[in-house]
Amino acid sequence: MTHVCQVVQHLRPGGIETLVLELARLAPAGQVTDILSLEGTRAAALAAWPRLTRTGAELRFFDKDPGWRIGLIAALRGRLRQSRPRAVHTHHVGPLVYGGIAARLAGVPRIIHTEHDAWHLQDPRRRWLQRLILALVRPRLVADSDAVAAAVRDHLPGWPVAVIRNGIDTDVFTPGDRVAARAALGCGAALPATAPLVGCAARLHPVKGHRFLLDALARLDDGVHLALAGSGEEEDALRAQSATLGLAARVHFLGSVEVMTGFYRALDLFCLPSLAEGMPLSPLEAQSCGCPVVVTAVGGAGETLCPASGRLVPPGDAAALAAAIAGQLGRVGGPNPRPFVLEHGNARAMVDAYAALYE
């Protein structure tokens, strides 16, 4: 039996957290997974994200307060000495600092660290910290896309980095009936039954670029609607922007959507207008459901794009975003992006690649 500990900053809905849950759910026979969350409590996490009750993994929460907490390393070391995993897998810089050092002190045989984006390495202080922790922990370094790997090599020369691309479960994300999906998804949001519907699934945070998507929507035909799946600190500002632009009746704030398959099936087009990304899961999920996508050219987002059916646009450019959306909505009977995801974004390949590192 192989025992693996995944270490994350928190267990709130997000791309990294979803990927870690999938690594646990799709783990090969004989692998046991613990997920260690530096922040939060079990009760709060389960209340905010019901999916956590279906992970099949042991969840541990350390309720870390803001700021650096050196004592957390000792707590994690104690947990790892007790559970004696074969591998510890950290995700992002905070978990690398705490989980990576604790794993080295606990004598864990395998330590893997995945970089899910590289924009933080542009900061000289963060870059210095990353080099220091890598030298102390000596993990196997992985990037989730070619773009992130190139940035890591540029900012951290001399550190070998492998690429294991993110993947999604294509047996879950499958095409379905659009009309039925919209009816089921309504949830009081009054989604239009037949009007063109663009969707975005991302936390409502400035880095996700929703404000540019709203500006783009204002440039489109009045019949086009937008559905936003996700919650976050920018919701009030986005609602105010929608009202100012006269879009309140055309923008549907759905909050956190538990069954994302239904969300993607309801759409005519998926759009991710981020200003920074690693390799996002949502474009893969949408395309696996047969929905074409428009994404911004940031991080590894372009590597998620089916070249026959998708469009890549510059970040922060509402005019280009509007033109791409209008062009995509105007296409009838375009190529199906699902075969691309089956070949290039299947979670099984990702799980197998990480399992090999754990061994």
Q: Of 266, 129, 138, 280, which is closest to residue 202 (Cα–Cα)?
A: 280
**Region 45-51 average pLDDT:** 90
Q: Measured between alpha carbons, how far is residue 15 from residues 48, 120, 163, 310 in Å?
A: 15, 17, 17, 20
Q: Of 169, 162, 87, which is closest to residue 351 (Cα–Cα)?
A: 169
Q: What angle do CA 244, 226, 175 make, to 5 degrees?
A: 175
**Region 21-26 average pLDDT:** 94
Residue 121: band (very low, low, confident or very high) from pLDDT cuts 50, 70, 90: confident
CA dihedral in degrees (301, 304, 309, 314; nearest 10)?
Answer: 10
Q: Is the pLDDT of residue 212 over 60?
A: yes
Q: CATH fold of 2-164, please? A: Rossmann fold (3.40.50)
**Sign of dihedral through CA atoms 42, 44, 50, 51?**
negative
Residue 278 neighbours by CB distance under 10 Å = 27
Q: Which residues of 329-356 are buried (b: 16+ CB within 10 A; e: fewer)?
A: beeeeeeebbebbeebbbbeebbeebbe
Burial of 219 (0-12, 13-18, 19+ CB in 10 A): middle
Residue type, position 242, single letter:
S
Residue type, position 202, single letter:
A
Contact 85, 1 (CB under 8 A): no
Mean pLDDT of the chain: 93
Counting residues of the chain whose pLDDT is more than 70, the rounded percentage is: 99
CA dihedral in degrees (215, 216, 218, 221; nearest 10)?
Answer: 180
Place of tokens 């079990």: 42
Q: Is the pLDDT of residue 250 over 90?
A: yes
The pLDDT value given to residue 189: 56
Q: CB neighbours of 154 closer than 8 A, spacing ≥ 6?
A: none
The pLDDT value given to residue 278: 86
C-alpha 312/C-alpha 320 separation (Å) is 10
Contact 284, 168 (CB under 8 A): yes
The pLDDT value given to residue 216: 98
Burial of 314 (0-12, 13-18, 19+ CB in 10 A): exposed
Counting residues of the chain whose pLDDT is more than 90, the rounded percentage is: 82
- Packing angle, helices 347-358 and 15-25, rounded to 10: 70
Residue 186: band (very low, low, confident or very high) from pLDDT cuts 50, 70, 90: low
Q: Is the pLDDT of residue 187 over 60?
A: no
Architecture (CATH level 2) of domain 178-344: 3-Layer(aba) Sandwich (3.40)
Span 124-134, pLDDT tens digits = 998 999 999 99
Q: Is the pLDDT of residue 245 over 80?
A: yes
Q: Is the pLDDT of residue 188 over 60?
A: no
**Region 92-109 average pLDDT:** 96
Contact 272, 301 (CB under 8 A): yes
Q: Is the pLDDT of residue 220 over 90?
A: yes
**Region 148-176 average pLDDT:** 94
Contact 42, 58 (CB under 8 A): no
Domain with CATH 3.40.50.2000 in the chain: 2-164, 178-344
Tokens of 179: 């009309």
The pLDDT value given to residue 13: 87
Span 257-311, pLDDT tens digits = 888 999 999 999 999 999 999 899 999 999 999 999 999 999 999 999 999 999 9
Burial of 148 (0-12, 13-18, 19+ CB in 10 A): buried
**N residues, the chain:** 359
